[in-house]
Amino acid sequence: MVNAVAHPAGSGTLSWLVERFVTTTRGARHALAVAADGRPLGASTGTDPTTNTRLAEVVTKATGLTGSAATWISGEPVVSCLLTNDGGLLLVVPIPGGGNLAVVADGDADAGQVGYEATLAAGHLGEAVAAATTTSAATTSATGAEAGTA
C-alpha cells in the first residue's frame, strides 16, 4: 500500500509517484496522471505545463473514444489503450477511482512490461488519491465543526 503522506516535502501533487514510475520502468520516457475531468494531477520531469495539458487533452479524448468503441465490442470497461508507431508508444491505463495514467515509452520498449508496470503504478495512484481525498474530507469536516463551535 502507498502512503500518500510519504512523498518529498513540498511536492504537493502526485508527480513524485509518477516520476518514480518513469525512473524505475525500462523504456518509459514520460508519464502523466490525468484526473477524470481532464486536469493533469502529476507528471514526470522533463516536460512543461503546456505539453502536459496537451497530453491530458489527448488522453481524455482517447479514453472517450475507446470507451465508446468498447460498447460496440462488448460493453465492458476499457482495460488499456495502446498507440504505437516506430518512434514509440503511448499507453493509457485507468486509475482506480477515476482518471488515467498516460505513459510515453521508447519504440523498442517491451509494451507488455510497460503495461504491467503502468497498471501497478495506476493502482498506487488510485490509493494515493483516495487517501488524499479522505484526509481532505476529514480536515474540512473538522474545520467546519470547529467553526461551528466558535
C-alpha to C-alpha distance for 150 and 140, rounded to whole angstroms: 16
Q: Looking at the domain assignment, is residue 137 inside a domain? A: no
Query: What do you get for the CA distance between the two ends of the chain, in Å?
Result: 38
CATH number of the domain encompassing residue 54: 3.30.450.30
Tell me the one-letter amino acid at 76: E
- Judge whether 77 and 70 are in contact, CB under 8 Å: yes
SS3 97: coil
pLDDT beyond 50 at 147: yes
The number of distinct structural domains making up the chain is: 1
Confidence (pTM): 0.80
> What percentage of the chain reaches a pLDDT higher than 90?
65
90: containing domain: 15-130
User: 516536460: which residue's cell?
Assistant: 47
> What percentage of the chain reaches a pLDDT higher than 70?
80
pLDDT tens, residue by residue, 30-62: 999 999 999 999 999 998 999 999 999 999 999
- Look up residue 97 and give its three cell numbers: 477511482
Q: Looking at the domain assignment, is residue 65 inside a domain? A: yes
pLDDT of residue 1: 39
Q: Looking at the domain assignment, is residue 124 inside a domain? A: yes
Q: Which residue has the higher pLDDT, 149 or 132?
A: 132
User: In which order are the strands placed within the sheet that holds 28-34?
Assistant: 40-43, 28-34, 100-106, 88-94, 81-85
Q: Looking at the domain assignment, is residue 102 inside a domain? A: yes
- Give the confidence band of 109 by pLDDT, cuts at 50, 70, 90: very high
Q: Looking at the domain assignment, is residue 136 inside a domain? A: no
Q: Looking at the domain assignment, is residue 50 inside a domain? A: yes
pLDDT tens, residue by residue, 54-104: 999 999 999 999 999 998 888 888 889 999 999 999 999 999 999 999 999
Q: Looking at the domain assignment, is residue 147 inside a domain? A: no
pLDDT of residue 148: 54
